[in-house]
Amino acid sequence: MARRFPRVMGLAKMCRNRNISFKSLDPPSSLTHGIHIFHCPDAVGIVAKLSECIASRGGNILAADVFVPENKQVFYSRSDFVFDPVKWPRVQMEEDFLKLSQTFNAVRSVVRVPALDPKYKIAVLASKQDHCLVDLLHGWQDGRFPVDITCVISNHYRGSNTHVIRFLERHDIPYHYLCTTNENKREGEMLQLVQNTDFLVLARYMQILSGNFLRSYGNDVINIHHGLLPSFKGGRPSKQAFEAGVKLIGATSHFVTEELDAGPIIEQMVERVSHRDNLQSFVQKSENLEKQCLSKAIRSYCELRVLPYEEKKTVVF
């Protein structure tokens, strides 16, 4: 996805299997920031038409990325631009990008204006461990995520004097305790609670969501796995890694699919370990990675940096 320049004819053809970035100075405060992502069959002139669409309405591209995989007739792009909402109303913008998507038979064309569009509505699912949940809540409080948290759902009971419950009550975020069993995962009730959300975040939710739940929900679900996938899938990956004597441990944030711990990967982070580490230090390092990795994945998703690529991959700009 790369552009902020006039001489871009056929850029996609020139830049096979490469991620290119073009950036300019910060925009004047009177202008509004927009983001556009595009996924379509590859063709000559896509970047030029994207530029023309924005420039013809007085907009200016500040940064852009293009990715055209080698030997694949497919085009991906992400553009950061600024515009004057008076000259380019939000409704007109949707119409302009819709025409562009029809011209190139786009698989996906999404435009977002963070200052004008509603924040993403999310629900957070968590189990007993608090570290990812607490980090996410404080990140939301600090404004790091452009989301509204509609509720927190957990299969673990938390008392009224716990840090999590006090925080949620202070911010009027409902907490739903749903005791689950092997025979009853309470998925019907969960679906009712999350039906108006844009996506879900599993902040160390240690229950497997069924294929029926995922199909019924229909939106993306982001999970954090305390291991460097595809190694050490399933339960207790830190213990698996410790016993395997690895020298790097990691955390993986990925989309949830019916296949356990096998969804498209959004973000991964690693840290070096040695023979001097014990299981406790493995876990402590892993938990720090999990918080950072999940936070980065949520931000990337909200900033329209994540696009599906083939069946089990992602493009992350």
Query: Catalytic residues, which ones?
Result: 261
Pairing of strands 306-309, 313-316: antiparallel
Cβ neighbours for 291, distance < 8 A, ≥ 6 positions apart: 131, 132, 135
Q: Yes or no: say if 314 and 257 are a contact pair by the CB < 8 Å rule.
A: no
Q: Yes or no: say if 200 and 217 are a contact pair by the CB < 8 Å rule.
A: yes
- Which pair of tokens denotes residue 123? 């629900």
In angstroms, rounded to a whole number, what is the distance separating the alpha carbons of residues 257 and 223?
10
Tell me the H-state helices in 15-121.
Answer: 46-55, 90-103
Q: Treating both helix axes as pointing N-terminal to C-terminal, what angle do 131-141 and 163-170 enclose, rounded to 10 degrees? A: 30
> At 284, which amino acid appears?
Q
Q: Count other Cβ atoms within 10 Å, centred on residue 284.
A: 14
> At 121, which amino acid appears?
K
Cβ neighbours for 202, distance < 8 A, ≥ 6 positions apart: 124, 125, 126, 209, 221, 222, 223, 224, 256
Q: Which residue has the tokens 């007739």?
A: 73
- Which pair of tokens denotes residue 285? 């390092």
Q: Can you say whether residue 11 is alpha, beta or left, with left for phi > 0 and alpha for psi between -120 and 50 degrees?
A: alpha
Q: Yes or no: say if 271 and 287 are a contact pair by the CB < 8 Å rule.
A: no
Q: Count other Cβ atoms within 10 Å, centred on residue 46.
A: 25
